[in-house]
Structure 1
Amino acid sequence: MRAAALLLALAAGSLSGCGLQPVYAGGGNGAVASGLSDIAVAPIEGQSGWLMRDALIERLGAGADRGGAARYRLDVRLDNRLEGLGLLKDDTIGRERRTLRARYRLVDIASGEVVLDTTSGSDAGVDVVSSEYATIAAEQSALENLTQVVADRIVATLALKLRGGRGAATR
């Protein structure tokens, strides 16, 4: 019993010295949260672009929709594809895959320097059913869900970059 307690104490002590720190330390007033709110999201083309921009603005905070007062600009290009996968006996498509890929760049507005240039994406399967309306609704739902997933990934990458990665975009 004492050996287990001693082992637990040693493990806890070693974890505190490992250098792990929360990304959002300081909450809404922390460096990452204020850095994210200093990012303006440029308009993105198409319906998927509108959905993505809205999701990014929601996640980045109040400053993301302002034009000239931001420190950074986020430029996003989307590749939204819907392709048939499985053929049924009657040569109709039975399954589709919706893929959403984003190439995005974080640009320092003052200097024009590209601080981050990377990609993110996700995909989802859609069953093609006898009701055309149901299939269209499923395709639309897949796009909306993928937009949320990719927006989360983009913001997580931006937060890590603003936290202090290589060539960090810190205040």
Structure 2
Amino acid sequence: MKSAALLLTLLPLGACGLHPLYAGGGSGAVAIALTGVDVAPIEGRGGWLVANALRDRLGAGSGGGSSARFRLDVRLDDQIRGLGVRRDDSVARERRTLRARYQLVDLATSAVLLDTTTGSDAGIDVVGSEYATIAAENTAQERLAGIVADQIVGRLALYARTHAVSR
């Protein structure tokens, strides 16, 4: 009786239209497409962090070898702005913003397949120690690089899924 009730509750889920993005795991179409993406060098420390995070998330094929079918071009805008001001006119809080404009380029045709932006921000407390503030700014940059890389890879995976991109 319980199994019949469970089956009846699960039946509508099959018709919801949701499909797993990474169906097939590492040998699925999306995973294979992502390993065919070469990450072009990105300027600056933030660019180095984002590029490494992208390579880690895209898989082994992103090292620029002959298996690359696509190139990912990324331009970053990394800014720190003071928000709060103390009575002595010193900044009490900062906001670090990392924005990325990225393009997915088909290496065979040089066509831009995807051109979009993403970004994230983080709040930083400015304390009395300059070292602690710099460390907090660097930690925020590292976290933001990972977040932006996750957003880019997610968008690339969705593009690969909807456009049936494969090797």
The two structures share one fold, judged by TM-score above 0.5: yes
> Do the aligned partners of 1:52 and 1:147 also contact (CA within 8 Å) in 2?
yes
Question: What's the TM-score once normalised by structure 1's chain length?
Answer: 0.91
1:117 equivalent to 2:131? Answer: no
- Structure 2 residue ranges without an equivalent (≥5): none
CA RMSD of aligned residues (A): 1.7
* Aligned-residue offset at 1:151: 0.4
CA contact (8 A) 1:105 1:114 kept: yes
Shift of residue 96 of structure 1?
A: 0.2
Which residue of structure 2 aligns with residue 43 of structure 1?
41
How far residue 93 of structure 1 moved from its aligned partner, in angstroms, is: 0.2
Q: CA deviation at 1:20?
A: 1.2
- TM-aligned CA deviation for residue 164 of structure 1: 1.8
- Show structure 1 runs of 4+ deviating over 4 A: 4-8
What do residues 68-91 of structure 1 show as CA deviations (whole Å, max 9, x unaligned)?
A: 431000000000000100000111
2:90 is the alignment partner of 1:92: yes
Question: Could you report, residue by residue, the CA deviation over 1:111-163 in whole angstroms, capped at 9, with x for unpaired residues?
Answer: 11111111110000000000000000000000000000110010001001001
Per-residue deviation at 1:42?
0.2
Determine what percentage of the aligned residue pairs are the same residue: 59
d(CA) in 2 for partners of 1:138, 1:56:
23
State the TM-score, normalizing by the size of structure 2.
0.94
Which amino acid is the alignment partner of residue 159 of structure 1? A
Task: Judge conservation of contact 1:164–1:170 (CA < 8 Å) in 2.
Answer: no
In the other structure, the counterpart of 1:73 is 71
Matched to 1:44, the amino acid is I
- Aligned counterpart, 2:61: 63
Tell me what 2:165 maps to.
169
Indicate the residue corresponding to 1:149 in structure 2.
Answer: 147
Unaligned residue ranges in structure 1 (runs of 5+): none
- How many residue pairs get matched? 167
Superposed displacement of residue 10, structure 1: 3.4
